[in-house]
Amino acid sequence: MNAVAVEGLTKRFAGSVALDRVSFTVAPGELFGFIGPDGAGKTTLFRILVTLLEPDAGRASVLGRDVVKEFRALRERVGYMPGRFSLYPDLSVEENLRFFASVFGTTIGAERARIAPIYAQLEPFKARRAAALSGGMKQKLALCCALVHRPEILILDEPTTGVDAVSRREFWELLGELKQGGLNVVVSTPYMDEARRCDRIALIHRGRLLAVDTPAGIVRAFDRPLLGVRARDRFKALLALRAFQHAHSVYPFGEVIHYTDQRKNAPTETLTADVRAFLAAKGFADASAEPIEPTVEDSFIARTASSGDQLDGGAA
Amino acid sequence: MSDVTIEVKDLTRRFGDFIAVDRISFEVKAGEVFGFLGANGAGKTTAIRMLIGLLEPSGGTARIAGHDIYTESEAIKQSIGYMSQRFSLYEDLTPRENIRLYGGIYGLTRKQIRERSDRVLARLGLAGVADDAVRRLPLGWRQKLAFSVALIHEPHIVFLDEPTSGVDPITRRQFWELIYEAASAGTTVLVSTHYMDEAEYCDRISIMVSGRIAAIGAPADLKRQFGVNSIDELFVRLARPQSETSA
């Protein structure tokens, strides 16, 4: 039995389509990630999976139970961490946890073993009001509250958004440990670099799944050589490259410009030589070009750009 | 005015016994894109609030576009633009109305406002939606418009607080191209961000840890100096000890 099975799921809000015939499955024990920007449909999808919202069409089951017909049976088995901080800001860390435990008919004491690794980090602040915690600590408390009733699956909506890089890394380490402990984990994030933490990912954009695969598989499907171009004046070099007759895509990626060529099957040596020669002729004597490995972000860009509806950037 | 647009020396801010910003010093030049990084609680926001004239320092000095932060905070406000992820535009107003509002606040003439509105709307490809409520625009368009509005009075320096949070990767890159365009026209850009890969778009970055600047330099130089492959790795190495004690 799949941990999650979704088929043809569709949800509309006042004329706009939030989810457009989405289908995927999550295997038991998998750490599965949805990667996409704000407005892609991640939250709508998760709210359907945790029985807070009904789909307009299609079906979804979690742990073998239909999210519409069997919502009561499902709620006890699902741990949900919403994207927006939704604990009680005026209650202390301990009071929040005790409250969530009691709602599900259990106690912190009874669940101690389960939440121990996370609670250990929160315990020094257990008397502090939730509102006064740092972003990273709030996320850990929310995770604890989502775990306290021993769910069989955890569904986490953007748990690392707005949290600094250190706390994000710690949070992903915790998710990895929970997965090792046998828990199903479905998580969403707008940070493309977090994709590699997942067993499989779905790229989601404007209510549609662009691809579902392992992070390595997503990258492998990148269908042409990718060059990393460096030049001292990268902005001017970027503008110059855009005007190169063979340019297919030219994007800034930090210190490097990522370039693909229209000549899809040309040998990379030809492409690097051509790009270097072109830039040298344009006055960028220091420019270099070399083949590089694409990232999940390159794949995401390639898939959204080729859908042809991206011209002016992000009609979400 | 000299080539240095942000000049900070021993800047300090205490809240009671807590030292939020502890004698930080750095300079940023005209046309430079400077990344201002740090874990939550490291003192970034406090430092930025002092630099934009919203918070009085406990000690040290700083000059912003040549103006003293103690005595010339009004002149500083005229010389800077500010854009934050949380609030930037009035969503019930149209793009054109937002531009007119900000232009008016900064004392531009009607003629200047009209000319700059047309230029911005054309540059961003927003002419067709210039009279629609901003809330109906996609997030990415709003972010780009907010950036252009922050530049409407042609400030020497623009402060960007998490400007690209949540936008799709293509829009994020278009946003960075707008930043580069502004910088190549001479505007100093100071960006704070949680996207560590984004730090690598900056000419130079600083990383704050516990109120101090723990590292400062060009991303490539810092990676070499600390022997790391990415700014993310450097950030975690510098900030990890601090994160275990703060909450």
CA distance A79 to A154: 5
Same domain, A206 and A261: no
pLDDT grade for A310, boundaries at 50, 70 and 90: very low
By the CB < 8 Å criterion, does A113 face chain B? no
Q: Cβ–Cβ of B174/A313 closer than 8 Å?
A: yes
- Above pLDDT 70, what percent of chain B? 96
CA distance A228 to A59: 43
By the CB < 8 Å criterion, does B92 face chain A? no
Q: Cβ–Cβ of B170/A251 closer than 8 Å?
A: yes
Q: What are the tens digits of pLDDT across the range A191-248?
A: 888 999 999 999 999 999 999 999 999 999 998 999 999 999 999 999 999 999 999 9
- B197 close to B178: Cβ distance less than 8 angstroms: no
For residue B181, what is the nearest residue in chain A, using CA coordinates? A235
Sole residue written with tokens 């010389």: B79
**pLDDT at A120 (0 to 100):** 87
Q: What is the mean pLDDT of residues A6-34?
A: 95
**pLDDT at B100 (0 to 100):** 96
By the CB < 8 Å criterion, does A283 face chain B? no
The domain spanning residue A283 has which CATH number?
3.30.70
Residue B223 lies in a domain: yes
Nearest residue, CB atoms, B141 vs list A38, A134, A314: A314
ipTM: 0.85
Angle between helices B219-226 and B231-243 (to 10 degrees): 70
Phi-psi domain of A298 (left: phi exceeds 0; alpha: psi -120 through 50; beta: other): alpha
pLDDT exceeds 70 at position B247: no
**A102-106, A157-161, B137-141: lowest mean pLDDT where?**
B137-141
**pLDDT at A15 (0 to 100):** 80
Residue A311 lies in a domain: no
Q: Cβ–Cβ of A252/B180 closer than 8 Å?
A: yes
Q: What are the tens digits of pLDDT across the range A250-283?
A: 999 988 999 999 999 999 999 999 999 999 999 9
Identify which has the larger pLDDT, A42 or B242: A42
Q: Which amino acid is it at A128? A: R
Same domain, A166 and A98: yes
Q: How many CB atoms lie within 10 A of CB A25?
A: 15
Q: Cβ–Cβ of B169/A297 closer than 8 Å?
A: yes
pLDDT exceeds 50 at position B129: yes
**pLDDT at A316 (0 to 100):** 32
By the CB < 8 Å criterion, does B198 face chain A? yes
pLDDT exceeds 70 at position A26: yes
**pLDDT at B243 (0 to 100):** 44
The domain spanning residue A139 has which CATH number?
3.40.50.300
Same domain, A248 and A154: no
Give how many domains chain A has, as a whole number. Answer: 2
By the CB < 8 Å criterion, does A88 face chain B? no
By the CB < 8 Å criterion, does B246 face chain A? yes
Same domain, A41 and A179: yes
**pLDDT at B86 (0 to 100):** 67
